[in-house]
Structure 1
Amino acid sequence: MSKTIPTNWATTSFDEVFSQISTTGKKVKTGETQLQGKFPVVDQGRTFISGYLNDESLVVSNDDPLIIFGDHTREIKWIDFPFIPGADGVKILKTDDELNTRYIYYFLRNLPVESKGYARHFKCLKEAVYLLPPLAEQTRIAQKLDELLAQVDTLKARIDAIPALLKRFRQSVLAAAVSGRLTEEWRKENSIRAKWTEDAIKASVVAERAALGFKPIKTNVSPSTNRIEAPISWAWLKLSEVALKITDGAHNTPKIMAQGFPYITAKDLTGGTLNFTEGKFISEAEHRELYNKCSPKIGDLLIVNIGAGTGNSANVDVDFEFSFKNIAIIKRPEIINPQYLKAFFDARKKTIFNEQTQGGAQPFLSLTMLGNIEIVLPAPEEQTEIVRRVEQLFAFAEQLERKVQSAKSRIDHLTQSILAKAFRGELVPQDPNDEPASVLLARIQAQRAAAPKAKRGRKASA
């Protein structure tokens, strides 16, 4: 805060700006609130309204707007309606009748109150120095801030909506990719190999399995996932018919050690890639038992198949040994592009989850269910083109996301910049004909001195 203040401004203290409204006997805990009711409950949390109640005896009401300060959270809320105060930490402030409450509200929003965690912060407000312009200028500042910050809020709302749009964009790209729409023009300009048939694909997979020493995967005759519309040149097969191997990792949790062989769980696949940053390790003996069963290699697809995150997938993209739990592994043949396989599962994740998972307390995608999933395969050349286009469009989305994050940061700084400018006296013009703030302050002090003294320790009641 600047050490110099404009002409006709004055400095004052908390006690000359505010009176505090008591919440004795009126506070309610969040757990006691309801989803609907006659009166909103306002607490110190970031959510503006925490719930509702119908008990009129708990209501705080005032003819003029009030300000709530969160003692623990530092949240500042503008209240211009009857409400019920939340639990501990809610400080209800009423400004002096001679002051513009909206101006004081914005002043508090600009006040630098350093976080002390969940400790109390109300002392910072009580010890702060308050800047008072003439009353007419307070009104001009408040009106200008209302106008400018409403524009900032509109811009922020539009920016905040973009991530959801990008998520839908990615999903539409994946849907177009695995339905053939993304490469429709490409197919018209490129010939498809004549022998790309179900029988030819099966024969190729059988030969590759035999060369690697893998056993055939049993095909389940139960109903599989619903098919999507796809080009007639593409082939539909069950995963059990085209995968070289489908198996899973540990069922019991190995002993985690400070060092050893890397070990990951379902939560390490939540970002669509493998995440080893938690640094979990297991012994060589336990690792060998698990690794020999799964042997993850670059290009294999890992899929969470039990618990939270079921259906999340990631391609193996590391060349060191690791083990895992609650994750299934699909070893693909050479004729399936690993990125195409992941794109297919990402595009069909919701359908697979709804149609294939089962279980009581937590979802479960068994190896048999995985094998039963039908996958549609374009020829390898088209798979490569699909992956290229998906990666290109996703890179565009990621570029937009970076710009959105940068814009959000600038908007957050813009709000504080506008507030800071207001309280340096630079946001609206000063009028030398305005009654000086010193005169206004003297009148407030005289009125308070003439008012009947409240009993010590008592606060204004609602």
Structure 2
Amino acid sequence: MGEWSKVYIQNLPTYMQLIEKYFQFAHIEKENTSVELLLDKLTFKLPKGLTKKEIKETGLFPVVSQSKDMIVGYSNAEESAISKDLPLIVYGDHSKIIKFVDFPFVIGADGVKLLKSKKNILPKYFYYSLIGLETDTKNYGRHFSLLKKKYLTIPLSLNKQRKVVKFVEDLKEKEILNKKPYFSLLVEKTIKCLQSNSINGLKLNNELTHQQALLKKLRQQILQEAIEGKLTANWRAANPDVEPASALLERIAAEKAELVKAKKIKKQKPLSPINDEEKPFELPDGWVWCRLREITNIVRGGSPRPAGDLRFYQGNIPFLKVADLTATNATYLNSHTYTIKEAGLHKTRKVPANTLMLTNSGATLGIPKICRFETTFNDGIAAFIYMNNDLFKPYFYYVLSSKTQWFLEEASRGQGQPNLNTDIIGETFIFLPPLPEQKAIVTKVEKLLTLCDQLETQITQNQTHAEALMQAVLHEAFS
């Protein structure tokens, strides 16, 4: 569907509302009456609609339902075919879809109302006028009872009605730009202006959407090049004598052994070696491959039950849920929404300030955050505890951010709600640079992402400006 047709279909209700408003104040012979009083009785008994199984891919008669598609299939049920009183308007009592049908057809499913206009109103004019009506509800319920009570201003001149229909249909086919006025130069000019401005707005929005998509890819590319060491190649050349990450990994292993000995953490199962197939690129000098569980201990939170029980909740101890971590794109978490009481501590887990965390369930899993305050958290969040001081947490925030999509795909392999358990997180392989380079990477990434933020702000401002212009045009048209 081209831009012109897309905008026309989207804006047609607005165009008909403008025409309706014009006739309300125009000095012509007219009638202001309810939709119900404009309806004529059908000369036939309404047949029962077909079931989905009864609708075929081929047949003698097209099947028309309340769906968006004009024709949903075919049927050979001649006894159910409607060929009298044509043309008719098909109105979806549930969907509010309105169709003009001038050919024999069969009704598909229930919930379809057939509307026949009285002789003082052209069927096509009635059809377009109904499109401009609003039924004041978005719920999936019965709408025809509301539609019947709506009022329309109908010019008594059938010729005037024909001119409106001609204008609306010529506009659809783009055959209107250089033609003489049909019924009102001012209204037609306003509608043509709306059509043109809407197309320009659509083009602009499409371009802005494209720019936002490119910006998202750029952010991912920055993170990917960061964790591959490409952003700090010059830094390494200028700092050749930095302690290699292998020495850091050895210290971390020794520290973890001491934690096990002190019974602060449990002895962990041996990790599977990282084979060459898992290594997507060659590491820079001084870096090492490792799995997350080699450098930290990963724990999952918990929730006091039952949820919301005032014996446990609404105290003064912060309690994080997934929504707290996913509310913004910021690196750090500085606030919380929920709290628990001391009585609820035995059902959850408390971690110190500046703990690195990761959402691990639902559609928004794989989102990291560094929490600035001491907190407890539910089982939709994993925390990385006992991280060595030579592990720069903002670097690992970006490492985890680069793996968000991978985490989601990995967790979605099973059935049901995506769930990222601590084993999957622990087995995740990462690239460990020396501490000074971790900090250099973060400095570089933050500088580049700040530029991305500035670009995004500009794109958003342009989009807001385009929408404001469109609203201004609409306001002017209806004022």
Q: Which moved more, 1:317-326 or 1:98-107?
A: 98-107
Match of 2:358 in 1: 302
Match of 2:5 in 1: none
Instruction: Spell out the pairing of 1:168-247 with structure 2 (5 A cutoff).
Output: 169-180=215-226, 184=230, 187-188=233-234, 191-192=238-239, 194-195=241-242, 197-203=244-250, 205=252, 215=265, 219-221=270-272, 226-229=278-281, 232-233=284-285, 234-243=287-296, 245-247=297-299
Classify the secondary structure of the residue corresponding to 1:93.
strand
Instruction: Spell out the pairing of 1:246-261 with structure 2 (5 A cutoff).
Output: 246-250=298-302, 253-258=305-310, 259-260=314-315, 261=317
Classify the secondary structure of the residue corresponding to 1:27.
coil
Give the letter for the 1:114 counterpart.
D
Q: CA deviation at 1:326?
A: 3.1
Give the letter for the 1:24 counterpart.
L
The answer to whether the aligner puts 1:128 opposite 2:155 as a matched pair is no
- From 56, 65, 68, the equivalent of 1:48 is 68
Cα distance in 2 for partners of 1:70, 1:279 equals 43
Q: CA deviation at 1:50?
A: 10
Write out per-residue CA displacement over residues 253-291 of structure 1, whole angstroms, 9 at most, x where no aligned residue.
Answer: 554235234544446555566999996554422225522
Q: Is the 8 A contact 2:58 2:75 kept in 1?
A: no
Q: Is the 8 A contact 1:311 1:349 kept in 2?
A: yes
Cα distance in 1 for partners of 2:249, 2:65 equals 64
The answer to whether the aligner puts 1:10 opposite 2:61 as a matched pair is no
Write out per-residue CA displacement over residues 78-129 of structure 1, whole angstroms, 9 at most, x where no aligned residue.
Answer: 5677765455543333456785655544433333543385454544445413
The answer to whether the aligner puts 1:390 opposite 2:449 as a matched pair is yes
Percent identity between matched residues is: 18
Q: Which has the higher contact order (CA 8 A, sep 6+)?
A: 1
Write out per-residue CA displacement over residues 9-58 of structure 1, whole angstroms, 9 at most, x where no aligned residue.
Answer: 522543675547688334357x7698977756532xxx613994443435
Give the letter for the 2:168 counterpart.
A
Cα distance in 2 for partners of 1:199, 1:238 equals 13
Q: Is the 8 A contact 2:94 2:143 kept in 1?
A: yes
- From 132, 135, 139, the equivalent of 1:110 is 132
Give the letter for the 1:300 counterpart.
L
Q: Is the 8 A contact 1:110 1:416 kept in 2?
A: no
Give the letter for the 1:345 counterpart.
L
- From 380, 389, 408, the equivalent of 1:326 is 380
Cα distance in 1 for partners of 2:127, 2:476 equals 16
Q: Which moved more, 1:129-138 or 1:185-194?
A: 185-194
Cα distance in 1 for partners of 2:50, 2:475 equals 33
Q: Which moved more, 1:316-325 or 1:62-71?
A: 62-71
Write out per-residue CA displacement over residues 438-457 of structure 1, whole angstroms, 9 at most, x where no aligned residue.
Answer: xxxxxxxxxxxxxxxxxxxx
Q: CA deviation at 1:169?
A: 3.6
Match of 1:25 in 2: 47
Give the letter for the 1:381 counterpart.
A
How many pairs does the alignment contain? 411
Q: Please tell me the root mean square deviation across aligned C-alpha atoms, in Å.
A: 4.8
Match of 2:11 in 1: none
Cα distance in 1 for partners of 2:86, 2:416 equals 52
Structure 2 residues without counterparts, runs of 5 or longer: 1-20, 175-191
Q: CA deviation at 1:158?
A: 6.8
The answer to whether the aligner puts 1:375 opposite 2:433 as a matched pair is no
The answer to whether the aligner puts 1:291 opposite 2:338 as a matched pair is no
Classify the secondary structure of the residue corresponding to 1:129.
strand
Q: CA deviation at 1:348?
A: 2.4
Q: CA deviation at 1:248?
A: 0.8
Q: Is the 8 A contact 2:288 2:431 kept in 1?
A: yes
Cα distance in 2 for partners of 1:297, 1:41 equals 62
Cα distance in 2 for partners of 1:381, 1:205 equals 21
TM-score of the superposition, structure 2-length normalised?
0.65
Cα distance in 1 for partners of 2:352, 2:413 equals 26
Cα distance in 2 for partners of 1:278, 1:59 equals 62
